[in-house]
């Protein structure tokens, strides 16, 4: 079976690797370098703390495979608990967390409630005096996303997949084929996993899908603090330990971005706000703007119901996109799922892309929102 994969981000290279090891003749085409798009700008938070049954299954499989792949090339899965909380005065999100945790536990997730005293004892580097309810997920970790993409691309090549970089590609149907500067190639199946460019790639093929790229931001500060992965549901930001100190992220823009024309650097107001948040949250370290090492932005992709589009759109044409900020952390399972779908061995029915017409109107919302 000849399969073309358009997109060399984390999901694309995982799908290519999983298809190749199962005997498919795979060609992956990436317009830039492997992992040079959203994957290389991802935060590297990895957890399975999802309440919906299908999301819990995907999260669990992703963490299982991250552990299995750890040590492949430079990729390393670093075990790190994930903590999320609501603050004083935020009863809506406090109630949501209280309702989420039993649902996660019912779905088999290793999560538990924690209060401010628990967190202060476990994580003395944090100031948690304003926390009213919190939860801790133990099946979690962190990594450098770029190392994962490179490791999977190398593994795909070892399984005889052809990886072509600097190779912009267009998809055409009737017959199904991929067009590049070198000509066109027919395939039995094509997987479009082009991240923020997925909507345009499919539109050029005459297929509409409801996807909206949106901009998010992050920074790193040179502060030595031993912290878990942390999400403040009240204010909507996250942080984690990073090789150069602490990484913090937020900055969701609630408008659709142009995937070819968007600001890659972080905004000044984001930088100022995130420094203030980190200064407040880190109990043992003062954080100042002079501690900031780097700020940047990336693109996430939204769908109308915040679930991805993963599966067959037309005969032989598959899509894998719309992760709502949760794509990298679920990559090993999502790439595997679309590969198995191509081979007729399964998929994820809840993420079937044909549930939409493609012309739906919807707003961009934050992917990590607790409601």
Report whether pLDDT(315) > 90: yes
Q: What is the pTM of this model?
A: 0.96
Cis upstream peptide for 307 (omega within 30°): no
Cβ neighbourhood burial of 228 (10 Å; 0-12, 13-18, 19+):
buried
pLDDT at 342 over 90: yes
pLDDT, mean of residues 40-68:
96
The pLDDT of residue 80: 97
- What does R_g of the chain's alpha carbons equal in angstroms? 20
Tell the burial category of 254 from Cβ atoms under 10 Å away from its Cβ (0-12, 13-18, 19+).
exposed
pLDDT grade, residue 145 (50/70/90)?
very high
Residue 62 has pLDDT above 90, yes or no: yes
Tokens (6 digits) for 230 = 């942390």
Structural tokens at position 319: 């899509």
Encoding tokens for residue 97? 């967390």
365, two tokens: 């919302």
Q: Which two tokens stand for residue 175?
A: 């017959």
Biggest alpha carbon–alpha carbon distance for the chain: 64
Confidence of residue 283 (pLDDT cuts 50, 70, 90): confident
At 251, the pLDDT band (50, 70, 90 cuts) reads confident
Does 230 have pLDDT greater than 80? yes
Domains of the chain: 2-70+144-211+303-355 (3.50.50.60), 79-138+212-302 (3.30.9.10)
Q: What is the mean pLDDT of the chain?
A: 96
């Amino acid at each position: 079976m000849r399969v073309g994969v358009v997109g060399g981000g984390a999901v694309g290279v995982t799908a290519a690797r999983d298809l190749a090891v199962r005997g498919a003749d795979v060609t992956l085409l990436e317009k830039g370098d492997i992992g040079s798009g959203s994957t290389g700008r991802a935060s590297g938070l990895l957890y399975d703390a999802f309440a919906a049954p299908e999301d819990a299954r995907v999260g669990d499989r992703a963490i299982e495979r991250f552990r299995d792949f750890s040590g492949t090339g430079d990729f390393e899965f670093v075990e790190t608990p994930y903590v999320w909380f609501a603050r004083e005065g935020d009863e809506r999100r406090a109630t949501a967390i209280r309702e989420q945790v039993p649902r996660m536990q019912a779905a088999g997730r290793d999560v538990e409630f924690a209060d401010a005293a628990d967190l202060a004892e476990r994580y003395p580097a944090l100031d948690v005096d304003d926390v009213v309810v919190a939860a801790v997920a133990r099946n979690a970790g962190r990594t450098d996303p770029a190392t994962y993409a490179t490791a999977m691309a190398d593994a795909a090549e070892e399984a005889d997949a052809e990886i072509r970089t600097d190779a912009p590609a267009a998809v055409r149907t009737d017959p199904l084929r991929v067009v590049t500067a070198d000509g066109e190639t027919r395939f039995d199946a094509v997987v479009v996993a082009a991240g923020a460019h997925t909507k345009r790639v499919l539109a050029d093929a005459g297929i509409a899908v409801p996807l909206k790229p949106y901009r998010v931001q992050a920074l790193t500060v040179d502060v030595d603090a031993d912290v878990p992965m942390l999400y403040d549901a009240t204010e909507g930001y996250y942080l984690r330990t990073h090789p150069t100190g602490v990484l913090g992220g937020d900055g969701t823009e609630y408008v659709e971005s142009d995937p070819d024309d968007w600001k890659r650097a972080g905004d000044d107001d984001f930088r100022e706000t995130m420094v203030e948040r980190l200064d407040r949250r880190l109990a043992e370290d003062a954080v100042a703007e002079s501690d900031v090492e780097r700020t940047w932005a990336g693109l996430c992709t939204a769908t109308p119901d915040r679930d991805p589009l993963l599966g067959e759109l037309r005969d032989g044409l598959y899509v894998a996109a719309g992760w709502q900020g949760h794509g990298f952390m679920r990559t090993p399972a999502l790439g595997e799922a679309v590969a198995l779908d191509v081979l007729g061995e399964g998929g994820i029915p809840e993420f079937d892309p044909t549930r939409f017409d493609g012309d739906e109107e919807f707003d961009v919302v934050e992917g990590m929102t607790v409601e």
